Amino acid sequence: MAAIQTDAANMPNHKKVTLSGTVNQQQEIVITGKAERVEIQFVGNDGVVIFNGGTDGAVITTETAYPIPKDSSFWYDLPRSKQSHSIWVASGTGSTVCHVIVYEG
């Protein structure tokens, strides 16, 4: 799998990804430094987000994963560092669709 880059030139920026058919396989999302807030939504199935220590393409093992109920928006205010950084998303059901929307102030 390859990390998905968000676009700093077009905010808000929406990325729609169908997660791997492998259960709990992490997908890396690189968040631009201009972003101040992220919205994450899993369609039809529950999912998780990992804020630190994820690995693109790896199956969740010891990472701390925060649950997000299906069809619900999860909002995350980003640290004020203004540097690009990553989050990782995964689902316990293979091939789940995930929406990630990044917003600028």
Q: How confident is the model at residue 29 (pLDDT cuts 50, 70, 90)?
A: very high
d(CA 76, CA 102): 10
Residue 95 and residue 80: Cα distance in Å, rounded?
A: 33
> Is the whole model's pTM more than 0.95, yes or no?
no
- CA–CA distance, 39 with 103 (Å, rounded to integer): 8
Query: What distance in Å separates the CA atoms of residue 48 and residue 61, rounded to the nearest whole number?
Result: 13
User: Count of H helices and E strands in the chain?
Assistant: 0, 9
Q: Give per-residue pLDDT as tens, 44-101.
A: 999 999 999 999 999 999 999 999 999 999 999 987 766 888 999 999 999 999 999 9
Residue 33 has a pLDDT of 87
